[in-house]
A and B are shown apart, each in its own frame.
Chain A
Amino acid sequence: MSESSNLPEVSGGSSSGTVAVPDRFEDPGLPQHRNRVTDVDAQAARRAERQVAALFGLSAVGTLLALVAYFALPYDTSLGYIDYLGRVQLSNLLVGLGLFIALFGIGAGAVHWVKTLMPDDEQIQERHALRGSDEDRDIAVAIFKESAEETGVGRRPLIRNSLIGAMALAPLPAVVLLRDLGPLPGSKLSETIWKRGTALVRDPEGGKIKASDLVEGSVVHVLPEGIEETEHPLNEKAKAPVLLIRLAPGLLDETSRAGAYQGIVAYSKICTHMGCPVALYEQQTHHLLCPCHQSTFDLTQHCKVIFGPARRPLPQLPITVDDEGYLVAQDRFHEAVGPSFWERG
């Protein structure tokens, strides 16, 4: 087979046996070109021309609209903020619509021009096999062989081996230089700023909380006192938020009773699945729902997971009250908060 062997046969191949009927149907060739209205009717062609020009003209109008709207709708700050937003909305709408007309007009005009006025006779171009000719291939192979010979790598294994060694080591600095992208994790993932005696304050308003502030069914979003004064408040906020909830004391189970105070419990708000705040508290069912992937935690079973992709219960922050009656942490968290990681244990 010749160099076209890698292209599949298309028209009816060899006939088999003595029957005159071919194996496959034959390609009838291109159908006859059908003239468009604009090909035969000069008036239609002129009409198409006018349509194209009208589209381009419309585009120009659109550009003008966009420019006028841009300057005519200034954002004077003396407006009240609702009126200001209305101004922004109008500007966005008019400049945007103007630009749309401007751009679409050019596009539609060009396409209409092609479709109606430019010739649409289908033409045929032959494909050439991508593969080189046998002669090219032979010459190429010969060149490769000759050049390889000239490098002498085949005859000089010492050069080859030492080159491989050097090239294998060379990329290492590129990797090593990335080492100081960040510090080693150390024990940071397992620590929060909560410790014995840290007061619970309201998130985000601030202010300490007394037990009497909560009734059954209450929830308070809580942060540790002093979090805004840490070096990286947001980093601490990624681990420290706590939900403070009051339940009827009989509803708490054994595990949570030790860390509770008069039916008030505090649990980490950071989901043990992927770190979103588990902030939805359903007062009647005592369930905590995480909005990201719908992990559901049951407060009456020490925040055990009852639905969804999370696995570990939310860590409890043991609480008590200080001398003034404000709620404070009894102790640190007894385990790492937030999503799991390899070293968590």
Chain B
Amino acid sequence: MIYLPHTHEDIFSMLQVLGVDNLDDLFSTVPEDCRFNGHLNLPEALSEWELNDHMSTLSHTMAVSPEYKVFLGAGSYEHFIPASVSYLLGRSEFVTSYTPYQPEMSQGTLQAIYEYQTLAARLLGMEVATASHYDGATALAEALLMAVRITKRKKIAISSLIHPLYRRVVQTYFNPTGYEVVELPYLNTGATDATGLDEMDDLAAVAIQSPNFFGCIENLQALGQKTHDTKALFVVSFTEALAYGLLKNPGSQGADIVGGEGQSLGIPRSFGGPALGMLASGKKHMRSLPGRLVGKTKDLDGKTGFVLTLATREQHIRREKATSNICTNNSLCALAAAMYMASVGGTGIRKLARLNYDKAEYLKKELKKAGFAIPFDRPTFNEFVVEFPSGFEATHKHLLEKNIIAGLCLAPFYPELANHYLLCVTETRSKNDMDALVREVKS
């Protein structure tokens, strides 16, 4: 087997050194009644060439670009990834190295992640960003737990326009804690209804997503103000990181902690994972942050170098009192995001984000012209909700056969919104794609 270099001679001579006769004897400390003496019932080994065929067959069943025009966002976005990023990400020194606990031989990872932390902080308008979490949902859950730790209060309010699956994850994390989670309803404008906050004075945090699940841009400044009036921390989440290439970032709007998804930044959708949880806060809360942090320092010769720092927050030192249990994070995804942000650049990201916005606006306009209702009038970024006529389900299904996925049906998540669909347009959808979609839904 090509990944097992030992020859018979190697094994024989090593067993001799150990004074045992065969490999089985090495397991003498495993009691007989713990031993499994059968054969594992798994498929026989494939050659590399058979594996290629097998996986190729599986992958060809998947509905992806360019054969399919997928107008789906909802937490996972199709964006162009430069060849340079994919190429650099294949460097095995990045791919096959471990967490940089031995900094002298990991300066590549450490500088790269320090750069990621910096760019992430700048994107979100915050002072400190961590080295990554699993995804936007867990980053949000960690942000809320962090707020509870800081304020020592036991209740949080989350907008019902936060991604439904993110809310589910937050509930799952909060279930055993005994902390209370209340949901804020939404207005018919497509924004969060925060009037209920007036009655709440015992909140650790208020969490708002912007752009929200309907694609609408929330009035973060006003919501932040209202949150701070209750003495709670303002937690802002997001699923489409590219939005902040154009829109006012959460930090500038009063966010205390930000926890969202960075998949749009150079990471392929990959059926939902691995993703990139982005978490950021102000310096004053730095020691309450969960997850790894890279810091800049100097070596014995005075040269600049980077190390993991503030490790006393983490599980390997603080154990049950750690700020989180996280050990392995999504470092390579953070690296991809840094490479992407470096490639797109400050000038480029504004243009790219603007292109996303304009394309989505075009589709919105065309659908309006074709007689379909746009129920929410809050401005949107690259996703928006359309209300199709009753019975659209059949049309949606029919369009699948034409290789068009016309948005995500909202009814399973918001039963009151029958026939409402969430459509997403990024820079990857052409005007022709959109015209074809409009043509098809009209007929």
Q: Do A and B bind each other?
A: no
